[in-house]
Structure 1
Amino acid sequence: MQFFNLRRLAVLVVMLSGASAVLAADIELAKNITVPAGWRGEQIPLPPSFAREMQFKGIEEARFSPGMFQEKSNSFFAYFFVFKLDPGTELTQKNIERELLTYYQGLASTIFKSRKKEIDTSGFTCKLTKATPVDPQKIYPQGLIEYAAKVNWTEPFVTQKPQTLNLIIQTWTDKTTGTGYLFACVSPQDMKANIWQSMRNIRDNFYRNLSRHTEK
């Protein structure tokens, strides 16, 4: 697994400063994630240092496409993340909208502040719409719920311009442990773009790996 070169993108230190606080036992989540060459990522605790107002508690595993911070790339700002949340977390549509909005507002504010710039996040929005999961391989966790979502915000890392992110969000709760999970694929690209199939393939492998480890 490859990780971000913080020398090339030092501003991410602010985002990832809490990573060392994650318990070693949570490394198990990362073992279920396999990505193609060039994808990089990190694990951070929830709530993250850049969005302390979030109510979700747990860990986040994120993986970023090779073109994540390249404006001209067809995978610009394409990435996915998995939240593993404390037992009892209520993964309702309203709660997810609130938490993701807080997440993106905090991220933008922190990055702009690190560059000594101001940003008004009051106009940011996050809207989820219930979707029908399509699972021909029968690999989705029991009770999985899917949403299509849009986040309107200001992209802080490269363009510092308004951006609309499309998200495919899947949530479920482990019936044995009560642990909540949220898997989100993210990109500003149209839903027919190739990057979405790439992320679906990664997500499918995650579900297969998770199932195998759960059965042991």
Structure 2
Amino acid sequence: MSHLFFTFLTLLLADQQPHKTDGSTTAEMDVLTAPQGWRKERIGFPLGFAPTLPYTGFEDIRFAPGWSDEKAEDFWSYVFVWYVDHDPQLNTASLQRHVKLYFDGLMETSDAQVVISSNSDPVDYVGHVVAKDAFFTQDKMQLNFTVRISECAAQQKYLVLFRLSPQKPQHAIWQALNQVEPTIDCAHPAEP
């Protein structure tokens, strides 16, 4: 539980850390842009809470202003991107395994339930995860999410972009989540 306290403290202080967006190096630049008031955090792979995720690179995160307020409409609403060095070669089954590893570690559980389906585009996915909220309420919650995978040819990197909220996709928070975009110009990988 001590890493949860550290993570929470990091989230509270993350907005006070300087971040460059001039594109000088990926270690210094923000990969995501978000509206004013969103908190940010960056975690390098391997992730401390999910070290078996098979990536190198980092995770860049943006938290909605009410992310930690269980009475707010944007409670637990956030966006993160895995900025990775190699093609993640994700499909529905592997993405489901990776999301489960991520949330089992984040929530210090082993029973996160993940449901993912492919959208009309083979690199877009929708789904939800049901897990115990180990940060705030200690109750089970469902987070709905979308995933978009892009190749950044100029940088020789890949983006795996997640948007998450307990709110249904019709809720206004999804408009705000969709405003959080990569700062890097990337395209979808070519279909086989």
Same-fold call, TM cutoff 0.5: yes
Q: In the alignment, which residue of structure 1 is the partner of 2:90? A: 91
1:179-209, Cα deviation, whole Å (9 max, x unpaired) = 2210010000011111101111223xx3xx4
Measure how far apart 1:210 and its partner are. 2.0
| Structure 1 residues 138-153: aligned runs within 5 Å | 145-153=123-131
Root-mean-square deviation (Å): 2.6
The one-letter code matched in structure 1 to 2:113 is: T
Report the Cα distance in structure 2 between the residues aligned to 1:164 and 1:75, rounded to whole angstroms: 14
Report the Cα distance in structure 1 between the residues aligned to 2:81 and 2:106, rounded to whole angstroms: 17
Q: In the alignment, which residue of structure 2 is the partner of 1:76? A: 75
Q: Is the 8 A contact 2:100 2:113 kept in 1?
A: yes
What secondary structure sits across from 2:93 in the alignment? Answer: helix
What secondary structure sits across from 1:72 in the alignment? Answer: coil
Return structure 1 stretches of 4+ with deviation > 3 angstroms: 13-16, 174-178
Q: TM-score, normalised by structure 2?
A: 0.79
| Structure 1 residues 137-176: aligned runs within 5 Å | 145-175=123-153
Q: Is the 8 A contact 1:14 1:50 kept in 2?
A: no
The one-letter code matched in structure 2 to 1:34 is: T
1:123 and 2:111 equivalent? yes
In structure 1, list runs of 5 or more residues that go unmatched: 1-8, 110-120, 134-143
Change (3 A) 1:76 1:198: same
Bigger CA drift: 65-74 or 124-133?
124-133
Q: Which residue among 164, 171, 178 is the counterpart of 1:200?
A: 178
Report the Cα distance in structure 1 between the residues aligned to 2:105 and 2:157, rounded to whole angstroms: 25
Measure how far apart 1:178 and its partner are. 4.6
What secondary structure sits across from 2:26 in the alignment? Answer: helix
Q: Is the 8 A contact 1:152 1:163 kept in 2?
A: yes
Larger gyration radius, structure 1 or structure 2: 1
1:12 and 2:12 equivalent? no
Say which structure is richer in helix.
1
Change (3 A) 1:164 1:14: same
Instruction: Using the aligned pairs only, state the percent identity.
Output: 27
Report the Cα distance in structure 2 between the residues aligned to 1:78 and 1:185, rounded to whole angstroms: 8
Report the Cα distance in structure 1 between the residues aligned to 2:139 and 2:149, rounded to whole angstroms: 30
Report the Cα distance in structure 1 between the residues aligned to 2:143 and 2:117, rounded to whole angstroms: 14
The one-letter code matched in structure 2 to 1:77 is: W
Report the Cα distance in structure 1 between the residues aligned to 2:81 and 2:50, rounded to whole angstroms: 16
What secondary structure sits across from 1:189 in the alignment? Answer: coil
Q: Is the 8 A contact 1:64 1:80 kept in 2?
A: yes
Q: TM-score, normalised by structure 1?
A: 0.71
Measure how far apart 1:177 and its partner are. 5.4
Q: In the alignment, which residue of structure 1 is the partner of 2:19? A: none
1:126-150, Cα deviation, whole Å (9 max, x unpaired) = 22111135xxxxxxxxxx7211011
Report the Cα distance in structure 1 between the residues aligned to 2:32 and 2:87, rounded to whole angstroms: 24
Q: Is the 8 A contact 1:15 1:49 kept in 2?
A: no
Give the paired residue count. 172
What secondary structure sits across from 1:199 in the alignment? Answer: helix
